[in-house]
Structures are given as structure tokens and as C-alpha cells.
């Protein structure tokens, strides 16, 4: 792929990602504000998640800084600032798409503990929770908001981040998949520790 067609693909992806954010923001106010997540509305939860994501983005920027990834951004404060902005930006896009689609589709996002006692069943429940939404009636549906958010955020970051000659689509796909896997690990933590 030439640089021109790669930048054109990135531009089209950025437009698509921005469009998804606009659609998510246009979710009916009642869907956004009235759904209770624990003791919080969707909007309050979004704010809490953004704070958590910003802290995680800053922490992962430190890891990227130590690994000098990407090397094009160099070291020092300027390199760290670029890495932090990239990681926090990716998370903001991911959460915006996830929360917005969940509101528009009236999907729950909180993890629900397994009612089972068997350890294997609890592990399976936690890992499936990364890619399914447990509905109020107990049924499970494919987690369109969560999966879409993970990949849109990852592809957006791959579009602006230097990839060291690697294919940006492969980088986005890999990072999106890793994000979903981390969600499964977080579910395991909630299932067995909290």
C-alpha cells in the first residue's frame, strides 16, 4: 500500500470513528441519563470510566516510554506527553463509542457475578462476559457496544500513532483484540476477588 492510499484509508477510518461518536452522542437523553448502573446514571459512570481510563493511559504511557514505543516520539517529557495523549485519546474514543452504543441499544455494561459455584463455570462466565452482554432477563447477547468500542478506539490510535512500518490495520486489530482480552481478565478479577 502506498503512503497516499494508507493516509486515505486512515482518513476514512477517522471519519467513520468520528461518525460513530456523533451517533453515540445522539442517543436519546432518556437512554443516556435514566439507566442506573449501580448507584450511578450512565453519564456519571462515563465520567468515572474516563477518570479511570485517563489514569491507565498515563500509566501505560510510562510503560511505552520505558520501551521507547514508538521510537519516532523520542524520550523525555515531550515523548511521554505524546504517548500519554495517544493512550488517553484511544481510551476516550473507546469509552465514548462503548457507552454511547450501550445507551442507544439499552445494553448493560456492568459485570454480573456468576450464580454458579463451579470454578470452571465461573471462569467461563467471566471470559464470556468480555464479548457478551448479560441482559436483565438472564439471556446473553453479543456485546456490540463493547467490541465496537474496543476496535474503534484501537484503530483510531493506530491511525495517528507511528507504527514502525507495520500495517496500521493489523496494529489496530491486535490492540482491539488485546483490549477485549484485558476486559476478560478484569472480569476474572471481579468474579474471584471482589
Residue 114 neighbours by CB distance under 10 Å: 18
pLDDT tens digits, one per residue of 91-125: 999 999 999 999 999 999 888 899 999 999 999 99
At residue 182, does pLDDT exceed 50? Answer: yes
Query: What is the b/e burial string over 154-170, where b = at least 16 CB atoms within 10 angstroms of the residue's CB?
Result: bbbbbbebebeeeebbe
pLDDT band at 40 (very low <50, low <70, confident <90, very high): confident
pLDDT tens digits, one per residue of 126-156: 999 999 999 999 899 999 999 999 999 999 9
E strands in the chain: 36-37, 40-41, 132-134, 140-142
Q: In this predicted structure, what is the pLDDT of residue 109?
A: 86
Q: In this predicted structure, what is the pLDDT of residue 185?
A: 94
At residue 7, does pLDDT exceed 80? Answer: no
> Which of residues 25 and 75 earns the better pLDDT score?
75
Instruction: Name 37's Cβ contacts closer than 8 Å, sequence gap at least 6.
Output: 44, 45, 108, 109, 110
What is the maximum span of the chain, computed from C-alpha positions, in angstroms?
A: 56
Residue 153 neighbours by CB distance under 10 Å: 26
pTM for this predicted structure: 0.78
Amino acid at each position: 500500500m502506498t503512503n497516499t492510499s494508507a493516509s486515505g484509508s486512515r482518513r476514512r477510518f477517522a471519519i467513520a470513528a468520528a461518525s460513530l461518536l456523533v451517533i453515540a452522542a445522539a442517543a436519546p437523553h432518556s437512554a443516556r441519563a435514566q439507566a442506573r448502573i449501580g448507584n450511578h446514571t450512565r453519564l456519571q459512570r462515563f465520567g468515572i470510566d474516563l477518570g479511570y481510563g485517563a489514569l491507565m493511559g498515563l500509566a501505560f504511557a510510562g510503560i511505552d516510554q520505558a520501551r521507547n514505543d514508538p521510537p519516532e516520539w523520542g524520550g523525555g517529557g515531550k515523548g511521554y506527553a505524546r504517548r500519554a495523549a495517544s493512550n488517553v485519546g484511544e481510551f476516550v474514543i473507546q469509552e465514548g463509542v462503548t457507552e454511547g452504543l450501550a445507551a442507544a441499544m439499552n445494553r448493560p455494561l456492568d459485570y454480573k457475578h456468576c450464580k454458579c459455584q463451579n470454578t470452571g463455570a465461573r471462569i467461563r462466565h467471566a471470559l464470556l462476559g468480555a464479548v457478551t452482554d448479560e441482559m436483565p432477563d438472564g439471556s446473553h447477547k453479543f456485546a456490540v457496544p463493547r467490541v465496537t468500542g474496543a476496535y474503534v478506539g484501537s484503530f483510531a490510535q493506530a491511525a495517528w500513532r507511528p507504527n514502525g512500518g507495520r500495517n496500521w490495520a493489523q496494529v489496530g486489530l491486535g490492540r482491539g483484540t488485546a483490549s477485549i482480552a484485558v476486559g476478560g481478565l478484569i472480569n476474572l478479577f471481579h468474579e474471584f476477588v471482589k
